[in-house]
Structure 1
Amino acid sequence: MIATSEMLYSFFSNQSILVTGGTGSIGRGIVEALLPYRPKRVVVFSKDDSKQYMMKLSYENDPIVSFCLGDIRDYESVENATVGMDMVFHTAALKQVSVCENFPYETVKTNIIGSENVIRAAIRNGVKKVVNISTDKVVNTYNALGASKLIAEKLFASANAYPTNLQTRLCTIRFGNVIGSRGSVLPIFLDQVSRGKPITVTNRKMTRFFITIPEAVDRMMKAAYYCQGGETFVLKMKSFRISELADAVCDYFGESGVRPRIQTIGLRPGEKFHEELIFDCERERVLEDDALYAVLSTEADATGTYLHFKPVSIHTYRSNQGVHVTKDELKSIVAQVHQKYRVRHGGGSE
């Protein structure tokens, strides 16, 4: 059945929910989106005390939101944070391709061991639902980020069959570039412009999937509702050429001042020209609704929760073959993200 607002309210209301990586762009978005559903409590779990302090200022008068300092690499801190939780949204990860390429051992400790810690703690404490946030980098990967997140996906799927798992249902949601999130391509372009530097593009033919933070958060909450255990949810997303986004940034700033220039620097280690979101081996197990694909586990029951999903035949789901965003849409996105960037860096107010 379709997850309506009323159903989501009933699902999240009076629940205790842990958000790992809760001070990040996606984590903050989840916290904000949960509050209208009146959960019992929302616990923000992260290792950055400075970000926690700043985020606390936004919620100091809200008794529902609390903060827990800890690191997913440390099982004990994760286990303690998970006590009494009904749900977990696992967003904490190393997410930059270049960082993961340069520090693969650190990537393993965070993205793989950290994920296993979340799984073990959730099962031990009887958490009902766990949603793991993944990336398009996992599909046909050849970089450390994608490899680590692929192992994490496997861990979350297999945990549904652990002998000690009596009630915890775990799933993954996989998506591409979250436009405007920290460390994503658009804020990098805006930072380069603010410092008077050229916009650096690795290759003008490169394409990427994208989704906004509110859209990503909405799909994550629906994934939690639909989760029966072992599924991989894949967001339906538009895509863009990197050159189109760079041109939109140049057009935006060129209207009010000097047009930035673009510099092509070549592919970085681990980067791909185009991204994919569904493996060939998953194509036979895909259902869809208006916003999501659901790649079911082989044991999943496609009735009940998935009654409104329809079987779909997918040949490929690649960023160079999907629905491309229009020039006007890109320009609007640049303007919106730039306004938030100015607020964050002291150049304006909301």
Structure 2
Amino acid sequence: MFENKVVLVTGGTGSIGSEIVRNVLSYHPKAVRIYSRDESKQFALQQEFKEYTNIRYFIGDVRDKQRLSYAMEGVDYIFHAAALKHVPACEYNPMEAVKTNVIGVQNIIETAIDHNVEKVVSISTDKVVNPTNTMGATKLLSERLISSASLYKGAKRTVFSCVRFGNVMGSRGSVIPLFKEQIARGMPVTVTHNEMTRFMMSIPQAAQLVIDAAKYAQGGEVFVLKMPILKIRDLAVALIDSYEKNLHKTYKNEIIETGIRPGEKMYEELMTLDESERALENDKMYIIPSFFQSQNEASYPGFVKAPYQEYSSHTAPRLYLEDVKLLLEKNRLGFECDV
């Protein structure tokens, strides 16, 4: 799919964006364009990828439509990972969240149509389902823009779709690096609520979902990975166990509740009951077709009608402590990787 093609990754220096770049490079593209506004992270990636001659580094912001248009010349595929993703930051700076997460997506759509790009896959979040915060609301609107872009594009060939992520373990801003730092420094581990649950996926899983979405996308879909669910407190306990087991040190502090932050939810949802009415599934993911596209099982070989039920970290089966420990170990996210 990507061989001899030009691929643009917005937010390409982030945890997910850079993993998408690594994944795409294995398919021998003609060129990969990394588009981001952080020159320091671009420099770091240049050191990692210095043996590749087919990577281009573009400084730019998705808010800047003209710059985006220049970067999109001759592009075949776009993976849109640039966003404001931190719930507290978006609550405190809602106008900035709108500029990046809504206006930025509109810019992506319009420039992709102008340049007749083949496919655009935009990264969304579990926060869009029944949003209680600014970040979720802006990302929900960006999803709606992507889904309706198929009607907006006229006769152009561009196919638009979204993927919904849960929490990505070990990514920048995820809770795991914070917990590990608190444990290593002998500080109390801070959990906002002991009963809070979250979906969890690894960085490679997240990148692979995006690649799969590009393969299956026909227009307007939302792709949702089936992923583990766990209590945040269990994650903290598993990391403390990893610290003591691998570094042979005793952790003497405690886990303390700090209270739910503005805009934060006790549990997350990845698919509503209404969405499940038209959803399809295989053993790895759900596909939620667009309202505007007449799609069924025949459109997606290997997928069948999904059951009529919401997909929530509150109602779906979750991992218990021993399985959380195994999950950390499998993904080398505990303290064993620091030994």
Q: Name the CA distance, whole Å, in 2 between partners of 1:332 and 1:191.
A: 20
Q: What's the offset of the Cα at 1:280?
A: 2.8
Q: Name the CA distance, whole Å, in 2 between partners of 1:214 and 1:311.
A: 27
* 1:253-281 Cα distance to aligned partner (Å, 9 max, x none): 22321214211101000011011111232
**Among 284, 290, 309, the residue aligned to 1:315:** 309
* 1:188-209 Cα distance to aligned partner (Å, 9 max, x none): 2112223332110000100000
Corresponding pairs, count: 333
Partner of 1:118: 108
Partner of 2:235: 245
Partner of 2:120: 130
Contact 2:91/2:262 (<8 A) preserved: yes
Q: What's the offset of the Cα at 1:285?
A: 0.8
TM-score by length of 1: 0.91
Partner of 1:147: 137
Contact 1:159/1:165 (<8 A) preserved: no
SS in 1 for 2:90: helix
Contact 1:238/1:322 (<8 A) preserved: no
Contact 1:250/1:261 (<8 A) preserved: no
Q: Name the CA distance, whole Å, in 2 between partners of 1:303 and 1:283.
A: 14
Contact 2:271/2:311 (<8 A) preserved: yes
Q: 1:82–1:329: structure 2 CA closer, same or farther, 3 Å change rule?
A: farther
Give yes or no for the alignment of 1:211 onto 2:201: yes
Q: 1:163–1:129: structure 2 CA closer, same or farther, 3 Å change rule?
A: closer
Partner of 2:250: 258
SS in 2 for 1:208: strand
Partner of 1:337: 333
SS in 1 for 2:89: helix
SS in 2 for 1:42: strand
Q: Name the CA distance, whole Å, in 2 between partners of 1:166 and 1:273.
A: 42
* 1:200-237 Cα distance to aligned partner (Å, 9 max, x none): 00001000001111111111101001110011111111
Q: 1:340–1:78: structure 2 CA closer, same or farther, 3 Å change rule?
A: farther
Unaligned runs of 5+ in 2: none
**Among 83, 97, 100, the residue aligned to 1:93:** 83
Partner of 1:104: 94
Partner of 2:147: 157
SS in 2 for 1:68: strand
Partner of 1:54: 44
Give yes or no for the alignment of 1:21 onto 2:11: yes
Q: 1:268–1:303: structure 2 CA closer, same or farther, 3 Å change rule?
A: closer
Contact 1:274/1:320 (<8 A) preserved: yes
Give yes or no for the alignment of 1:276 onto 2:266: no
Partner of 1:293: 286
Q: What's the offset of the Cα at 1:304?
A: 5.2
SS in 2 for 1:17: strand
How do residues 180-191 of structure 1 correspond to structure 2 at under 5 angstroms? 180-191=170-181
Contact 2:62/2:104 (<8 A) preserved: yes
* 1:114-151 Cα distance to aligned partner (Å, 9 max, x none): 11111111111110100010000000111001000000
Q: What's the offset of the Cα at 1:249?
A: 1.1
SS in 2 for 1:114: helix
CA RMSD of aligned residues (A): 1.7
SS in 1 for 2:78: strand
Partner of 1:8: none
Partner of 2:296: 302
* 1:13-65 Cα distance to aligned partner (Å, 9 max, x none): 11110000000000111011111211111111100000000110011120122
Contact 1:198/1:262 (<8 A) preserved: yes
Q: 1:76–1:165: structure 2 CA closer, same or farther, 3 Å change rule?
A: farther
